Amino acid sequence: MGQKIALIGFMGCGKTSIGKMLASRLSASFLDLDQEIERIERRSIRELFEAEGEAAFRAIETETLSRLSQRKENLVLSCGGGAIIPPANRQLLTREFFVVWIHVPLEELVKRLAREREGRPLLKDADYEEKVKKLFETRLPLYQEACALTYRWKDGESTTDSATAIMDALALAR
Ligand code: S3P
């Protein structure tokens, strides 16, 4: 049985870039849940949301997560920010993965996401800042519940710094 790590956290926290770096350092495969969904569905997350709505996206997300959790090799999986919403997903994640929460402060996320709204259907509203704040507050307890380890990003830390800090914390935690 390989070691499986899942990265969770709000949109824009760096799951994908940190995950790729972690996977390379751990000589593990890297998978991104959103990219996997887009590959299977042959359309972008935005198109999927527009055509089918959020509930349908969540069902596909749950199904894809469940399938990827069966993989046997060493794996780093980056999850979409809302993958922790269904209780069954949180249970699956804690059972099948060592879950790391990348916790970035709200103010920083608002700054980052202002530049990265394109392609994120939940952030297309005019009152974007309010929406981010609301989602962030609702999801905090869910990230907390699902994770085995919290990595708190500090101002100025690069992707490399984050990957190093998580590697160190993993070595201590396991
Ligand atoms: C979502 C986050 C996105 C993507 C979808 C919904 C969310 O992934 O799954 O747009 O509900 O937070 P990222 O966290 O990788 O942006």
Minimum CA distance residue for ligand 1 atom 3: 80
Q: Which atom of ligand 1 is nearest to the CA of 120?
A: 10
Question: Could you tell me which residues come within 8 angstroms of residue 107 by beta carbon, excluding any fewer than 6 positions away?
Answer: none
pLDDT tens track for 29-84: 999 999 999 999 999 999 999 999 999 999 999 999 999 999 999 999 999 999 99
Determine whether the shortest distance from the Cβ of 26 to ligand 1 is under 6 A.
no
Enter the pTM of the model: 0.96
Domains and CATH numbers, the chain: 4-173 (3.40.50.300)
Which candidate, 147, 56, 57, places its Cα nearest to that of 102?
A: 147
Predicted confidence at residue 137, as pLDDT, reads: 98
Determine whether the shortest distance from the Cβ of 121 to ligand 1 is under 6 A.
yes
CA distance 9 to 103: 6
- How far away, in angstroms, is 78 Cα from ligand 1 center? 11
Joined together, the tokens standing for residue 51 give 């055509």
CA distance 18 to 166: 9
